[in-house]
């Protein structure tokens, strides 16, 4: 295949999704890796006095070119998975890993970086930061290691890239493998009409009669929350909680057990090669937290503050279920169901009841209006025809108040088969400005909401509205950056435990009385959310908040401890450690056959290994940052512009704590988080 006819090698404009096929992937990546190696070697041999312009800028351009080719491949693998694409994607992973290791261990490159960094006074702050990060990353790639250890490091990195991808694939395959068709509507008592409509639509599209349920979240969630049929709840809970494991209806078929053990062993060995005692220590090299003790103290402190309240909340639930439904023992598949009943009983409000007031047709333009008022920008659907990967995908532009284009993004909002679950923002194109190139940032914004059914718009739960705002916070971080170098622009180069600050910060507007009229309105009448419903929604905001906090702390401690306490003699002890964590912090204890860790893709497949605590760490930052808006006004433009200037525009160009202090005037305090969470 001619290199230049390959759509992945055309870097003018946006990705050409209608042209890209699986056959293009390997040839494009092979070509770029070979060409990058050749050009880097030429830089090393032909530039006797390396400086920013003649050395670092060309390297940033080469790296960005590779990222731009890989971004649509990685994205399509997540949102339009097929056997052919998966094979091509997997074939490239070890090649990309080997290339990254090779560069990271290139001593000539390392010395050139060091030489340029030593020219300190000739560089601005962002340039110095990029070089400091680069020198750190060389060391984290093993540039200082003896040759045999360098080789082993490369083997580990390559193997990890393969098996973390396989872990993700097993979850996707296990999710797709299980379905349940029900033909007797009486078995579905309690389910809201929207869930019945989706299940009927799913059955119809797959040539079945009745109602079809899957393990995609919009299908799973209504069953576990609303179905009166306890056996159906149990069956679906078991299928969901044992995905990709040795247990459950597909037990052993897509089993992640051995992969998880190998991932932990390899991470531990890799950390040891670099001189760290364990992978948790290695993880903190790119984070705000200064030590493993600091992370553990933070998590244990939060758990201690929330434990008593969590126990009280669970006791209330047991009392309620016993008194109103004569249920003497609550199982894991009962907790969401009776919690929803209790919420409804106490506050006369449910997520389902709120959905008609949060149609996508109001939420999305309303969110854009909120963002416009807070940060002084305008967001509109693009007028140009843009190639996408699915008919549901839409494309938008974000502009400054004076009309200057700042960035663009794709919106892919609905769940469908062959699409990875969850919600995320990913880079399509990074901001870059060099003497040769100038490009604006483009983001992929992906969710898994219930799609429109019939002629109704998609109706969102209020929790889904928060997910949307959360991911858009990441998108703003990527698109509003004013840093010109991709490796420290947007979310790149940001300390990982600060990267969730903008996303969690944006969720606050979903609750504000002044913002809600913008993002809500009945899908049929346009009527505003009734004030009494808002008051009930607000009253229910912190319903079971301690139980929810403890669940997140359970995940965070488990993740951190399996990396911190790994012992090669004993293996991963995954469920042994999880059980010990639950003993300390959990108030709800799942059944022995629950295999939560087998589907915990954040830490085994995503970028959160020994870093899941970042969600809570950043929540302290975001709650404290928002408290300034509570003082000044939630639409105070001056405060919004300050947040934009100090946090969103700076990306990874300065230290995360310094940026927070520049915005807030002091270091963060935990008080706002406890207040927002309703923790006494």
pLDDT at 285 over 60: yes
Q: Say yes or no: 304 and 410 in one domain.
A: no
Counting every residue written for the chain, the total comes to 680
Q: Say yes or no: 395 and 490 in one domain.
A: yes
Helix, strand or coil, per DSSP, at residue 408: strand
Q: What is the pLDDT of residue 351?
A: 87
> In the sheet where 424-429 sits, what is the strand order?
377-381, 394-400, 405-414, 442-449, 424-429
Domain total in the chain: 4
User: Cα–Cα–Cα angle for 19, 21, 24, nearest 5°?
Assistant: 100
Whether 163 is covered by a domain: the verdict is no
- CA–CA gap between residue 346 and residue 358 (Å, rounded): 22
Local confidence band at 3 (pLDDT 50, 70, 90 cut-offs)? low
Whether 554 is covered by a domain: the verdict is yes
Q: Say yes or no: 434 and 373 in one domain.
A: yes
Average pLDDT, rounded, for the chain: 96
* CA 284 vs CA 338, 445, 611: distances in Å: 40, 28, 8
Strand residue runs (E) in 290-350 = none
Whether 589 is covered by a domain: the verdict is yes
For the packed helices 545-564 and 614-632, what is the interaxial angle rounded to 10 degrees? Answer: 140
Whether 148 is covered by a domain: the verdict is no
Digit-coded pLDDT (tens) for 588-632: 999 999 999 999 999 999 899 999 999 999 999 999 999 999 999
Q: Say yes or no: 527 and 558 in one domain.
A: no
Q: What is the pLDDT of residue 256?
A: 98
Torsion angle defined by CA atoms of residues 468, 171, 96 and 571, in that order, rounded to the nearest 10 degrees: 120
Final residue belonging to a domain, choices 241, 268, 293: 241
* CA 215 vs CA 181, 462, 601: distances in Å: 12, 21, 15
What are the CB-based long-range contacts (under 8 Å, 24+) for 87-90? 87/22, 88/22, 88/23, 88/25, 88/26, 89/25, 89/165, 90/162, 90/165, 90/166
Whether 651 is covered by a domain: the verdict is yes
Active-site pick, 471, 500, 619, 649: 471
Digit-coded pLDDT (tens) for 112-159: 999 999 987 789 999 999 999 999 999 999 999 999 999 999 999 999
Whether 152 is covered by a domain: the verdict is no
Strands 438-439 and 432-433, sheet pairing: antiparallel
Out of 161-165, 417-421, 452-456, the most confident range is 161-165
Digit-coded pLDDT (tens) for 620-679: 999 999 999 999 999 999 999 999 999 999 999 999 999 999 999 999 999 999 999 999
Pull the structure tokens for residue 268.
């531990």
pLDDT at 317 over 90: yes
Pull the structure tokens for residue 293.
């003790």
Pull the structure tokens for residue 79.
């949102």
- 471 catalytic residue (yes or no): yes
Final residue belonging to a domain, choices 121, 140, 159: 140
Digit-coded pLDDT (tens) for 28-49: 999 999 999 999 999 999 999 9
Digit-coded pLDDT (tens) for 453-463: 889 999 999 99
Which CATH number do you get for residue 131?
Answer: 1.20.1050.40
Whether 157 is covered by a domain: the verdict is no
Q: What is the pLDDT of residue 259?
A: 98
Final residue belonging to a domain, choices 567, 586, 612: 612
Which CATH number do you get for residue 524?
Answer: 1.10.1370.40
- CA–CA gap between residue 463 and residue 150 (Å, rounded): 47
Strands 179-182 and 438-439, sheet pairing: unpaired
Q: What is the pLDDT of residue 8?
A: 98
pLDDT at 1 over 50: no
- CA–CA gap between residue 638 and residue 524 (Å, rounded): 37
pLDDT at 537 over 90: yes
Give me the percent of the chain exceeding a pLDDT of 70: 99
Residue range 553-574: mean pLDDT, rounded: 98
pLDDT at 58 over 60: yes
Q: Say yes or no: 465 and 363 in one domain.
A: yes
The 3-class SS string of 367-406 reads HHHHHHHHHCEEEEECCCCCCCCCCCCEEEEEEECCCCEE
Q: Say yes or no: 521 and 622 in one domain.
A: yes
Instruction: Please give the helix or strand (H or E) that residue 356 lies within, else none.
Output: none
Whether 417 is covered by a domain: the verdict is yes
Residue 198 structural domain: 178-241
Q: Which of 470, 460, 476, 450 is nearest to 362 (CA)?
A: 460
| Range with the poorest average pLDDT among 145-149, 225-229, 433-437 | 433-437
Q: Say yes or no: 651 and 506 in one domain.
A: yes
Q: Say yes or no: 644 and 626 in one domain.
A: yes
Q: Say yes or no: 360 and 345 in one domain.
A: no
Inter-residue contact 415 to 448 (CB < 8 Å)? yes
Query: 405 CB contacts (<8 Å, ≥6 apart)?
Result: 397, 398, 399, 440
Digit-coded pLDDT (tens) for 7-27: 999 999 999 999 999 999 999
- CA–CA gap between residue 573 and residue 562 (Å, rounded): 8
Pull the structure tokens for residue 477.
């971080």
Query: 446 CB contacts (<8 Å, ≥6 apart)?
Result: 78, 79, 412, 413, 423, 424, 425, 426, 471
Q: What is the pLDDT of residue 2?
A: 59
Q: Pinpoint the alpha helices (H) of 256-291.
A: 257-273, 279-283
Q: Say yes or no: 581 and 630 in one domain.
A: no
Q: Say yes or no: 530 and 417 in one domain.
A: yes
pLDDT at 326 over 70: yes
Q: Say yes or no: 622 and 607 in one domain.
A: no
Which CATH number do you get for residue 566?
Answer: 1.10.1370.10
- Phi and psi at residue 377, in whole multiples of 5°? -130, 170
Give me the percent of the chain exceeding a pLDDT of 90: 96
Please provide the distance, in angstroms rounded to a whole number, between the alpha carbons at the two ends of the chain. 65
């Amino acid at each position: 295949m001619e290199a230049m006819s390959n759509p992945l090698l055309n870097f003018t404009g946006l990705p050409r999704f209608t042209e890209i096929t699986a056959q293009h992937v390997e040839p494009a990546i092979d070509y770029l890796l070979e060409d990058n190696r050749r050009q880097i070697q030429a830089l090393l041999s032909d530039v006797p006095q390396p400086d920013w312009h003649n050395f670092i800028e060309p390297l940033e351009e080469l790296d960005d070119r590779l990222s731009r080719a890989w971004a649509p491949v990685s994205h399509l693998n997540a949102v339009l998975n097929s056997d052919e694409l998966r094979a091509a994607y997997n074939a490239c992973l070890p090649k990309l890993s080997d290339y990254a290791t090779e560069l990271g261990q290139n001593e000539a490159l390392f010395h050139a970086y060091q030489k340029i960094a030593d020219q300190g006074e000739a560089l601005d702050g962002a340039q110095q930061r990029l070089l400091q990060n680069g020198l750190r990353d060389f060391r984290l790639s093993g540039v200082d290691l003896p040759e045999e250890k360098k080789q082993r490091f490369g083997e580990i990195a390559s193997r990890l890239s393969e098996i973390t991808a396989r872990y993700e694939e097993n979850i996707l395959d296990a999710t797709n493998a299980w379905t349940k068709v029900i033909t007797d509507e009486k078995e579905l008592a309690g389910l809201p009409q929207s869930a019945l409509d989706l299940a009927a639509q799913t059955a119809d599209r797959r040539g079945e009669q009745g109602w079809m349920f899957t393990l995609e979240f919009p299908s799973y969630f209504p069953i576990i929350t609303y179905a009166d049929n306890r056996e159906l709840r149990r069956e679906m809970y078991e299928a969901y909680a044992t995905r990709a494991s040795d247990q459950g209806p597909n037990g052993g078929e897509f089993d992640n057990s051995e992969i998880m053990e190998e991932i932990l062993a390899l991470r531990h060995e890799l950390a040891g090669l670099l001189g760290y005692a364990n992978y948790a220590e290695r993880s903190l090299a790119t984070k705000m937290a200064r030590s493993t003790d600091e992370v553990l103290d933070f998590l244990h402190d939060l758990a201690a503050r929330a434990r008593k309240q969590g126990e009280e909340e669970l006791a209330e639930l047991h009392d309620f279920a016993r008194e109103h439904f004569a249920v003497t023992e609550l199982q894991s598949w009962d907790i969401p169901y009776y919690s929803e009943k209790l919420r409804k009983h106490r506050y006369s409000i449910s997520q389902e009841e709120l959905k008609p007031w949060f149609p996508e047709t109001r939420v999305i333009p309303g969110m854009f209006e909120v963002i416009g008022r807070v940060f002084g920008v305008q967001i509109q659907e693009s007028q140009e025809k843009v190639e996408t990967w699915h008919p549901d995908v839409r494309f938008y532009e974000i502009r400054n108040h004076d009309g200057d284009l700042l960035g663009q993004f794709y919106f892919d909002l609905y769940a469908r088969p062959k699409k990875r679950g969850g919600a995320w923002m990913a880079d399509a194109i990074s901001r870059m400005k060099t003497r040769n190139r100038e490009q604006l940032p483009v983001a992929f914004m992906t969710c898994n909401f219930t799609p429109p059914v019939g002629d109704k718009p998609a109706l969102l739960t209020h929790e889904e509205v928060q997910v949307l705002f959360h991911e858009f916070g990441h998108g703003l971080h990527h698109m509003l950056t004013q840093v010109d170098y991709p490796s420290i622009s947007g979310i790149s180069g940001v300390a990982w435990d600060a990267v969730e600050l903008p996303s969690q910060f944006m969720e606050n507007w979903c609750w504000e009385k002044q913002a809600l009229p913008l993002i809500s309105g009945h899908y049929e009448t346009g009527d505003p959310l009734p004030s009494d419903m808002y008051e009930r929604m607000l009253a229910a905001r912190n319903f079971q908040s301690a139980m929810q906090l403890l669940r997140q702390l359970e995940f965070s401690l488990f993740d951190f401890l399996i990396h911190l306490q790994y012992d090669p003699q004993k293996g991963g002890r995954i469920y042994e450690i999880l059980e010990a964590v639950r003993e300390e912090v959990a108030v709800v204890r799942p059944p022995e056959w629950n295999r939560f860790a087998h589907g915990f893709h954040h830490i085994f497949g995503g970028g959160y290994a020994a870093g899941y605590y970042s969600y809570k760490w950043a929540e302290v930052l975001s709650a404290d940052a928002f408290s300034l808006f509570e003082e000044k006004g939630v639409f105070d433009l001056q405060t919004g512009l300050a947040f934009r200037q100090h946090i969103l525009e700076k990306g990874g160009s300065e230290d995360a704590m310094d940026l927070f202090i520049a915005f807030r005037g002091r270091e963060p305090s935990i008080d706002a988080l406890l207040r927002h969470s309703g923790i006494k």
